[in-house]
Chain A
């Protein structure tokens, strides 16, 4: 198995840019996916295959990945973006792993 490491928390003021990192050796060879989970709800994918946005996800959400580190960037953060964010990746055997999650607080 492998691990993905995220900061436990990130805080930003409304209108600023939030960046959430995810580190892991497998990210050098596997895609990363990002999920948003609001309180009491199921997670929702916001970025897939490193940098692609599913239909309906706002352009303020973007992703990048280089080497063993991936970043989820949320531009012009709004109160509604306050949530837990999880990165996810897989290994060649089909095993999936989630990062520990990052709580985004909008000040």
Chain B
């Protein structure tokens, strides 16, 4: 079945960067892409980008290009999302999600990132 467990909530100042981790278990980490999706308070889902854990290839949504970096550490089956130049508009819950045949079939629990001075 598999599981994705994300790092805990974080508070950042405007202009800073945040790095969220997503640890996979219960399935073969390199078999499927890991995606990142965010949800601002009271808003809808926004796809941010994908990463192929097998080869490290990535693709980013237009809105985040230049500010987002997706990486992974195969030794600990963990994916990372780093977002830079944060503003208050980046305050949101950030999710990682595995994409397979059945769509985004496994989701992390979400990580609340608050950007505040």
Residues on A lying within 8 angstroms of B by beta carbon are 1, 33, 35, 37, 42-45, 48-49, 52, 54, 84, 86, 88, 93-101
Query: Beyond A35-B104, A43-B95, A98-B46: 13 further Cβ-contacts under 8 Å?
Result: A1-B61, A33-B103, A33-B104, A42-B110, A45-B104, A48-B103, A49-B101, A49-B103, A88-B103, A93-B59, A95-B61, A99-B44, A100-B44
Across-interface contacts of B61 in A (CB, < 8 A): 1, 95
Do A42 and B95 form a contact, CB below 8 Å, given A54-B105, A88-B103? yes
Q: Are A94 and B102 in contact (CB under 8 A)?
A: no
Q: Which residue among B37, B99, B103 has the maximum number of chain A CB atoms within 10 Å of its CB?
A: B103
Nearest neighbor of B47 in chain A, beta-carbon distance: A96
Smallest distance from the beta carbon of A52 to chain B beta carbons, Å? 7
Q: Are A88 and B44 in contact (CB under 8 A)?
A: no
Within the assembled complex, what's the spacing in Å between the Cα atoms of A86 and B101? 18
Across-interface contacts of A52 in B (CB, < 8 A): 102
Across-interface contacts of A43 in B (CB, < 8 A): 45, 95, 97, 104, 107
Q: Are A88 and B104 in contact (CB under 8 A)?
A: yes
Within the assembled complex, what's the spacing in Å between the Cα atoms of A33 and B62? 21
Smallest distance from the beta carbon of B82 to chain A beta carbons, Å? 20
Smallest distance from the beta carbon of A14 to chain B beta carbons, Å? 26
Nearest neighbor of A43 in chain B, beta-carbon distance: B107
B109 close to A (CB within 8 Å): yes
